[in-house]
Structure 1
């Protein structure tokens, strides 16, 4: 117990001597004063600049120009204004104290603390994705705290010396952490850039197929560059990527050929524009609906009853496809009806045709409706009315239903009978005995 007490008293005496030397050293007091002054000046400047910068950088809600997107991007970094400004002012104070007193450990520690606060604000206020926030809390903030305490160099040395073998390859813990940090930042910037470029491209006046192709090409380019940058910083040689790419190529050639075929077919569809989002199509297999989404592998068709049909892109290339909406062209439909044999067929056209032409969806100027005699049926005389509309007969057969109503009412008003099946039964030899007529 006496030895433990003597050791404890020795530590206390040493700490007291260090604290006493620190307190009587004017350089330390100057550094501490500069540190506090830098923080107060940063707070004052931030309170003055923050509302003005926010007002200056906030664009109108309906403004989606490239400059407005850049201004919104700068606004995201506003939480970093105070710690970074304090960090910069403290760095200036450190240069002053080192030039006058030859030392600046106190103010250098404060500068590292402000940098830690900036990293903490970045993770807390700027990262919204769950995975990115998790990596920030488990990697960025601990590393910034270690740097603020002055233990970064020995910790980095230990991480670099700790090697993890993985088959024929090996990597250090430092390389793994560096890869996670760089990948987090690069792919966060890549996703933000992709969202901004998608928004800008969608506002341009171009065909929907061209817009989707531009969006996909931009997305591949952004994340491709981000991937190469991450691999380069992580120290992964490109020769390894070449081997991996070759292995993937063999896999695509054998096991993933359908996926590759659908991907290439999707690119061809976007380039040629034969079918795009918003078109009503009917495939050779009978699937019909409006294209609501086109992915790298398949197109999503929505039917009239709300069902979604996933159609591989290859089906649009190797099979027959009927596009009812291509280039906004008009479509022709026909409706069959019959009249009684007692009807003067020469008057049918003059009665039914004006009724059909009066419908607001029927194109009457350039392609007026037409009525043709189809044949002489078992129960009546068959006619067909043909009409053109600008669109498709959705609903289903919404247009045909309106036309049938119009023809029915017109014939009824004219006193023309619409026949129904009738049969005449003739019993040869009369009725059997005991059966009255």
Structure 2
């Protein structure tokens, strides 16, 4: 039965042509002693690889499995190679086939079947890599929809034909046009470089965070600098691989500059302000700050655009970096520095006020959170009030008098108990009422 393909689309005619070529090749293989010899060699190579893998893999697993809980570089390297053990079988089969290929070619001057078998073994290796080794979601997606189809086309010998077809399909986009091959290459290379940049950035960030000797602000600055450097290099590598000259992005850079000058000026200002804050180190993670606008809380994160504060009631406040530059900021806990507070109280006018300072200072000094440096507790006479003599005791502590800390409350308890112990009265409010003209007389 014959079919007239002249009226069919070009892709159908090409597929039919490839099908006929495969059929002719298969007929030649079925009747050729050289082909059967190569098939036998492929089967022998696979069987031998299976036998060797069964003997080697248990020992390799014991040797490469890292100790539980170990986080050293050697342990990580051993763990990496241990994950690669599923590749042992197809790679051994490929290696044994390559060894026998030279013998077959010298005997029959032909190696098409054995070359096909080697490509099949490579496809099996790629399949094992995607299915059993890759755990990253993005790489897994790329492997299932890109790596494995490409490996399958290569194994069937159709990769070059598909590449030429993709190169011939041109997609118009306004005044621009591009072929499908460039689109596929753009997606694959861009995805891989993005993943490598993200992985490198995560590794560098973890390494910097483990440097306990560095100040928190310096660590934050180092992380940001490493992130900018990594993705800048990744972008340059991507442009170089894709063959895009740097001069071609000059117009785009100018457009971005115009955009920053108008709509994105606030974002640029906040970004630059964040870099300045990291360089100066005046506010870092863990500090309790208060801004002129009333925003107050503990800094829990520094980002490129804003600083995130957590208040004592659990709310998160996102404050733009620019506000930390152009407004006044009070930092209560700059790198753990001490803070001064005071607790006011009053005593009766019947008290010998010369005894009060020593009594109160001794009582407050017993609090475990009250510091003797830079100054010990200091009780001062403030005023002669309407109802009593007003005092205040000043004290220094490490931390804030809020949230889990109740320094002022604790100090007032100590003052109360010390005054009661020495029979010093804390007065009630007193008022003098004068009735002009005397008391009214009751009528009989």
TM normalised by structure 1 equals 0.88
| Other structure's SS at 2:403 match | helix
Distance 2:443 2:29 in 1: 134
Q: 1:99 aligns with which of 101, 106, 110?
A: 106
- Specify whether residues 320 and 179 from structure 1 end up closer, same or farther in structure 2 by C-alpha distance, changes over 3 A only: same
In structure 1, C-alpha distance between the alignment counterparts of 2:53 and 2:195, rounded to whole Å? 27
TM superposition shift of 1:125: 3.6
Q: Structure 1 residues 329, 58: closer, same or farther in 2, change over 3 A? A: farther
Distance 1:17 1:240 in 2: 49
1:44 Cα deviation after fit: 4.1
Asked if 1:323 is matched to 2:358, the reply is no
Partner residue in 2 for 1:190:
197
Report the Cα offset of residue 107 of structure 1. Answer: 1.8
CA distance in 2, matches of 1:294, 1:53: 45
- Does the alignment pair 1:221 with 2:229? yes
Match among 214, 239, 252 for residue 231 of structure 1: 239
* 1:154 aligned residue: 161
CA contact (8 A) 2:374 2:396 kept: no
State the TM-score, normalized to the length of structure 2.
0.87
Map of 2:130 onto structure 1: 123
1:305–1:413: structure 2 CA closer, same or farther, 3 Å change rule? same
CA distance in 2, matches of 1:307, 1:313: 18
* Structure 1 unpaired stretches of 5+: 5-13
CA contact (8 A) 1:338 1:418 kept: yes
Structure 1 equivalent of residue 268 of structure 2: 260
2:252 counterpart of 1:244: yes
More helix by share: 1
Instruction: Give secondary structure in 2 for the equivalent of 1:346.
Output: coil
Instruction: Tell me, in whole angstroms, the C-alpha distance in 2 between the residues paired with 1:168 and 1:85.
Output: 52
Worse overlay, 228-237 or 385-394: 228-237
Match of 2:403 in 1: 395
Q: Which segment is superposed worse, 194-203 or 60-69?
A: 60-69
Deviates more, 1:198-207 or 1:90-99: 90-99
- 162-171 vs 82-91, which deviates more? 82-91
> Matched residues in 2 for 1:174 and 1:128: separation?
28
Q: CA deviation at 1:291?
A: 0.6
- Range with bigger deviation, 374-383 or 216-225: 216-225
Q: Give how far 1:16 is off.
A: 10
Q: Which residue of 2 aligns with 1:7?
A: none
Q: Which residue does the alignment assign to 1:292?
A: 300
Change (3 A) 1:72 1:231: farther
Query: Quick check: 1:139–1:177 contact (8 Å CA) kept in 2?
Result: no
Partner of 1:372, secondary structure, is strand
Gap runs ≥5 in structure 2: 3-20
